[in-house]
Amino acid sequence: MKTNQSNITPFLWFNGNVEEAVNFYVSVFKNSQVLNMNQLPGDVPGHKGKVFTATIELDGQKFMLLDGGPQFKFSPAVSFFVNCTTQKEVDDLWEKLSESGKPNRCGWIDDKFGVTWQIVPKALGELMGDPDRKKAKRVMEAMMQMGKIEIKKLEEAYNQK
């Protein structure tokens, strides 16, 4: 029997800032919640009460977070694709995730923790999937010039004569 819940959950390794990350992500994404936060036991010297692991749900997607220390860093080789319906949704997520982070090209952002997100309007896939390959190519070329993806500019490229 199929359920809506996935058996695959992204697991993110942080360095000393799991609680900050939990609070940030839950504030950024709609329909989000903290499912649990686990603190280190009180007998861990210098770390009493520090959040060690957490599970959150961001707009229906579960994530697990670990305070694993400085051994590993995030990389754009793994990113989270956010499919947006409207330009307002793109704008809101772009603004929040790029604050203290690093906006990149083609809708990609490294947030302040180093986690890479792709903020992409559904319109991009629809326009690039057009059977008229000249129109699709113009859309691709327009997107390649953008940081934050702008639906209006994609549509202008698509409709260009």
Q: How many domains does the chain have?
A: 2
Domain boundary among 26, 53, 71: 71
Give a yes or no: residue 1 inside a domain: no
| CATH number for the domain harbouring residue 30 | 3.30.720.100
Per-residue pLDDT tens over the stretch 54-101: 999 999 999 999 999 999 999 999 999 999 999 999 999 999 999 999
Asked if residue 157 and residue 117 are part of one domain, the reply reads yes
Three-state secondary structure of the chain? CCCCCCCCCCEEEECCCHHHHHHHHHHHCCCCEEEEEEECCCCCCCCCCCEEEEEEEECCEEEEEEECCCCCCCCCCCEEEEEECCHHHHHHHHHHHHCCCEECCCCEEECCCCCEEEEEEHHHHHHHCCCCHHHHHHHHHHHHCCCCCCHHHHHHHHHCC
Asked if residue 13 and residue 44 are part of one domain, the reply reads yes
Asked if residue 114 and residue 50 are part of one domain, the reply reads no
pTM for the whole structure? 0.90
Supply the range of the domain harboring residue 20: 6-71
Asked if residue 138 and residue 124 are part of one domain, the reply reads yes
Asked if residue 119 and residue 103 are part of one domain, the reply reads yes
Per-residue pLDDT tens over the stretch 113-129: 999 999 999 999 999 99
